[in-house]
């Protein structure tokens, strides 16, 4: 499998180079030259596999022969060995509204959030390739909450790797902040940016576009701009479908996906494009509703970033939207560049009516307020005793008219106990991974949202290493 850029400026590269490159050298996002399609017989055969065995099958066509199959299988096994549930991403059936709702629990990894599914594997793949090929890697990433801690836990203490994670100061939950800043390994460097997540994301992309700086410091990406993030998250859509359908290709399943950066729902779109029988993908957003407005109007227009009870979704510029735009525009890099120029110059882009019709065929979308989020947490708890994190509650509330949709439970509720307490008057019991977290010592730098300040910080930190 070879990978190209959504903007057309990268010669085709293999899986390993795409993994290490992260963001395309032309500023675009890397995508496969073609997407494999799966016959019904293969879906049926995969439906009863363990999560680890399924991950190996789903990923193999995208990896090719660059990593021997036995090595890839070993890396997958190691990546999920530390998850607290034997199924890795189990389904939970919860009484609700006179029936039941199915939640796909994605929070059984070491940082209790769905990002662990991809980032445990990404860290191990980075380590494998660096040991095999030599060299070092300095990871630069931005987080609205969960990506940072999951990335840190994926590479902490690994030789040949440093990691710099930016988070918006005061705009992540206290637990999310402590999960990052209490990791004191010498290769871990946290930065609180005085700004929003979009500011953090912009800084990361700015430094990646500086090809001299990127090459000098061997920068790599862990945000969902890295293709492996999307590929690994695709696996749990196949897993959930297999457990629900029993392998019957005629059984279609809908999913409600809390999303801010569009990566998780794009993974679902990718699974459907490959042939998974997905009925409907519901994009669930909070007050930061740029994606909901795009589905409704065909216009993608930037707005103010609002701080909400679901902070990991407090995003206006969704990185992975560019991947979807590439396919929506017929895999035409020139058309993608033109639309992104519109976005940069005017703050918005619009698609043609036929393309907008395709968007509405691909997705439903609903924005959920903080009040509705709290009401959903309360409603689910009253019906079943099951506690939702606010992001998962956004997914459930956005799909209330589709009770058959599987809701992606993206984080453990104990990571957001301020919202949980407000909704139900009590806190969610913490998983072992969060025990004693708030009492540990911390280390974190603080910077203005300036690329010059970030460059200087990275330079000085690596000079001291």
d(CA 394, CA 240): 20
Active-site residue numbers?
A: 115
| CATH 3.40.50.10490, domain 91-112+228-433, yes or no | no
In the chain, the percentage of residues whose pLDDT exceeds 90 is: 86
pLDDT, position 413: 97
Q: What is the mean pLDDT of residues 350-373?
A: 98
Range with lowest mean pLDDT among 77-81, 281-285, 310-314: 310-314
- Among residues 190, 214, 194, 212, the alpha carbon closest in space to that of 204 is found at 214
282 beta partners? 256, 364
- Has residue 137 got a pLDDT over 70? yes
Single pTM value for the model: 0.93
Q: SS3 string of 97-109?
A: CCEEEEEEECCCC
- Please provide residue 376's backbone torsions phi and psi, each rounded to the nearest 5 degrees: -70, -40
Could you tell me whether strands 348-350 and 188-194 are parallel, antiparallel, or unpaired per DSSP bridges?
Answer: unpaired
The pLDDT of residue 218 is: 93
Length of the chain: 465
Whether the predicted pLDDT of 180 surpasses 90:
yes
Confidence at residue 411, expressed as pLDDT on a 0 to 100 scale: 95
Quick check: 180 and 144 in contact, CB under 8 A?
Answer: no
Supply the pLDDT for residue 436: 87
**How far is Cα 369 from Cα 390, in angstroms, rounded to an integer?**
11
As given in the structure block, the two tokens for residue 459 are 């330079």
- The Cα 253–Cα 239 span in angstroms is 12
Q: Who wins on pLDDT, 102 or 21?
A: 102
What confidence score (pLDDT) does residue 465 get?
A: 64
Question: What backbone phi and psi angles, to 5 degrees, belong to 283?
Answer: -80, 120
Per-residue pLDDT at 63 exceeds 90: yes
Instruction: Please give the helix or strand (H or E) that residue 75 lies within, else none.
Output: helix 69-80
| pLDDT (0 to 100) of residue 23 | 87
The yes-or-no verdict on residue 412 having pLDDT over 80 is yes
Q: What is the mean pLDDT of the chain?
A: 95
Split at pLDDT 50, 70, 90, the class of 13 is very high
> What is the residue extent of each domain of the chain?
91-112+228-433
Question: CA torsion sign, 317 to 319 to 320 to 326?
Answer: positive
């Amino acid at each position: 499998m070879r990978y190209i850029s959504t903007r057309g400026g990268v010669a085709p590269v293999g899986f390993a180079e795409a993994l290490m490159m992260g963001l395309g050298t032309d500023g675009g996002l890397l995508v496969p030259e073609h997407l494999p399609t799966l016959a019904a017989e293969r879906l049926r055969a995969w439906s009863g596999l363990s999560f680890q065995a399924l991950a190996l099958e789903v990923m193999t066509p995208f990896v090719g022969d660059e990593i021997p199959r036995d090595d890839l299988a070993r890396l997958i096994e190691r990546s999920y060995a530390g998850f607290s549930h034997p199924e890795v991403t189990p389904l939970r059936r919860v009484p609700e509204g006179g029936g039941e709702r199915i939640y796909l629990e994605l929070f059984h990894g070491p940082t209790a959030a769905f990002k662990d599914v991809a980032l445990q594997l990404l860290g191990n793949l980075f380590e494998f390739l660096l040991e095999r090929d030599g060299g070092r890697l300095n990871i630069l990433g931005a987080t609205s909450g969960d990506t940072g801690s999951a990335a840190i836990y994926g590479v902490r203490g690994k030789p040949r790797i440093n990691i710099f994670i930016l988070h918006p100061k005061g705009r992540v939950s206290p637990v999310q902040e402590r999960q990052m800043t209490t990791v004191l390994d010498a290769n871990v460097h946290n930065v609180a940016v005085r700004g929003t997540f979009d500011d953090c994301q912009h800084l990361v992309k700015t430094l990646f576009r500086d090809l001299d700086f990127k090459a000098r410091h061997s920068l790599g990406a862990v945000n969902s701009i890295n293709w492996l993030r999307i590929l690994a998250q695709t696996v749990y859509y196949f897993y959930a479908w297999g457990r629900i359908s029993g392998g019957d290709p005629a059984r279609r399943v809908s999913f409600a996906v809390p999303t801010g950066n569009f990566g998780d729902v794009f993974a679902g779109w990718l699974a459907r494009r490959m042939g998974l029988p997905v009925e409907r993908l519901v994009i669930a957003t909070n007050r930061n509703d740029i994606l909901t407005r795009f589905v409704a109007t065909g216009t993608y227009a930037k707005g103010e970033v609002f701080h909400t009870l679901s902070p990991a979704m407090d995003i206006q510029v969704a990185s992975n939207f560019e991947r979807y735009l590439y396919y929506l525009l017929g895999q035409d890099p020139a058309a993608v560049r033109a639309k992104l120029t519109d976005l940069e110059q005017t703050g918005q882009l619009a698609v043609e009516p036929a393309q907008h019709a395709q968007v509405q065929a691909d997705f439903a979308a609903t924005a959920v307020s903080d009040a509705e989020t709290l009401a959903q947490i309360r409603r689910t708890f009253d019906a079943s005793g099951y506690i939702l994190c606010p992001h998962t509650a956004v997914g459930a509330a956005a799909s209330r008219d589709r009770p058959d949709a599987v809701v992606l439970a993206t984080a453990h509720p104990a990571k957001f106990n301020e919202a949980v307490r407000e909704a139900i008057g009590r806190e969610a019991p913490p998983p072992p991974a969060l025990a004693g977290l708030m009492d540990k010592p911390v280390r974190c730098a603080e910077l203005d949202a300036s690329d010059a300040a970030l460059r200087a910080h990275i330079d000085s930190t690596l000079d001291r290493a």
